[in-house]
Amino acid sequence: MRGTLNEQSLIYQQIAAMLEDDILRGVYREEEQVPSTNELSRAYNINPATAGKGLNLLVGEGILYKRRGLGMFVAPGAAEKVKEKRRAAFAARYVAPMVREGTSLGLSGAELLELVQKALEEGEQP
């Protein structure tokens, strides 16, 4: 697991996000074990309860599951669940405010889509 902790969000959320990143990158595949609470607490010099809270957050979302006495493992379909979660967050954080602003400016849906398409085309150029 790679990454550094910062002060911009809660530590347990950062631990969960780093594990999600690793799942998306294929570092941890379905049915593979992820670092334990103790391994995470040592690696990031954090309280084991904080590391456990990050792991349990992902268990609650169905991204990880517990095997009693063995640890935490990546759940089947975890990568797709992470993608769905992040798509929803992207829509809430970026798309919804863009649509609200476009509506307040009197842009139609077609005009808004045209602006997005133009931005996509400009972003593809070197």
Q: Are residues 89 and 34 both part of a single domain?
A: no
Pair 76, 17: CB distance under 8 Å: no
Report the percentage of the chain scoring pLDDT > 90. 90
Bridge partners of 65, per DSSP, are: 73
pLDDT confidence of residue 87: 97
Q: Is the pLDDT score of 9 beyond 90?
A: no
In whole numbers, what is the pLDDT of the chain averaged over residues? 94
pLDDT at 126: 60
The answer on pLDDT for 15 being more than 70 is: yes
| Residue-level pLDDT at 71 | 95
72 and 86 in a common domain: no
Predicted pLDDT at 3: 76
Domain shared by 66 and 98, yes or no: no
Q: Are residues 52 and 69 in the same domain?
A: yes
Element counts in the chain: helices (H) and strands (E): 6, 2
Domain presence at residue 5: no
In this predicted model, what pLDDT tens digit does every residue of 26-35 receive, in sequence order? 999 999 999 9
By residue count, the chain amounts to: 126
- Give the pLDDT score at 7: 79
**What tens digit of pLDDT does each residue of 33-82 get?**
999 999 999 999 999 999 999 999 999 999 999 999 999 999 999 999 99
55, with CB counted inside 10 A (0-12, 13-18, 19+), is buried
Residue 114 belongs to domain spanning: 79-124
Share of the chain above pLDDT 70, in %: 97
C-alpha distances in angstroms, 30 versus 25, 69, 76, 78, 81? Answer: 12, 19, 5, 7, 12
| Domain-located, residue 4 | no
CA 111 – CA 89 distance, rounded (Å): 24
Give the tokens for residue 71. 């640890």
125, pLDDT greater than 90: no
Domain of 27, CATH number, reads 1.10.10.10
Inside any domain, residue 1:
no
d(CA 51, CA 11): 8
